[in-house]
Amino acid sequence: QQQVKQSPQSLIVQKGGISIINCAYENTAFDYFPWYQQFPGKGPALLIAIRPDVSEKKEGRFTISFNKSAKQFSLHIMDSQPGDSATYFCAASGNTGFQKLVFGTGTRLLVSP
Amino acid sequence: EAGVAQSPRYKIIEKRQSVAFWCNPISGHATLYWYQQILGQGPKLLIQFQNNGVVDDSQLPKDRFSAERLKGVDSTLKIQPAKLEDSAVYLCASSLEPGAVAFFGPGTRLTVL
């Protein structure tokens, strides 16, 4: 129940295309859903996050879509650029206890020039 | 604002040896996390501190791993004795409080031969 399932494992998108990464969860106590971006040799960095009171959040070219009833959320990268090539992790945490952050398995995105 | 600092960045040891990693969180951050990231997987929480107290160590292999956060600032994670399966990147992260945005350090890449 503490798992967050992420797909696809890897993704190749042409420059200017849309990258879509999906995540699903089971624990209904989760109420915070961040996406992290990780470049090789670096730690993950927060990209964008959403709480269940909204169905969509947009920041620049990055959009999170959230479907509470389906317990799914996704990251959309519009106008994908080679500089977006990185590994993306979805994560989730709950609103009880000390709010442990649980990560998905990651998606390696390659944006071809 | 300085980020989360970790050292060393790389470490190679033989199995059954011991190793220690150091983390200096962002100033003022009360919550500190140690994550283990095995190649191709998402980060897995090993231990979470609130100030200098442990609030979650449910996934820490306590027979070989130990961690401390003296004075509620810097933290050290130790492995003794190391096993081959401990080869991973060890990430330290900090946040102002539980549930707040977590900032990650660059990690320590451990190779156990």
Q: pLDDT tens-digit profile of A75-112?
A: 999 999 999 999 999 999 886 666 788 999 999 999 99
Q: Which two tokens stand for residue A105?
A: 């398995």
Reported as a single tens digit per residue, the pLDDT across B50-102 is 998 999 999 999 999 999 998 889 999 999 999 999 999 999 999 998 878 88
pLDDT value of position A59: 96
Supply φ then ψ for residue A74, to 5 degrees. -140, 155
Dihedral (CA of B87, A48, B104, B35) sign:
negative
Residue-level pLDDT at A29: 87
The pLDDT assigned to A1 comes to: 59
Residues 32-51 of A with CB under 8 A from B: 32, 34, 36, 41-46, 49
CA distance to partner chain A, nearest, from residue B45 (Å): 8
Give the DSSP H or E segment for A33: strand A30-38
Look at residue A70 and tell me whether its pLDDT is greater than 90: yes
**CB contact set of B63 (below 8 Å; sequence gap of 6+):** none
Give the pLDDT score at B40: 86
Chain A residues with beta carbon closer than 8 angstroms to that of B53:
none
The pLDDT assigned to B99 comes to 78
Give first-to-last CA distance, chain B, whole Å.
Answer: 37
Listed residue (A37, A38, A33) closest to A65, CA to CA: A33
| Interface contact A105, partner B, CB < 8 A | yes
Residue A35: how many other CB atoms lie within 10 Å = 23
What is the structure's pLDDT at A56? 96
Instruction: Give percent of chain A with pLDDT exceeding 90.
Output: 79
**Structure confidence at residue A98 (pLDDT):** 63
Mean pLDDT of A50-59: 93
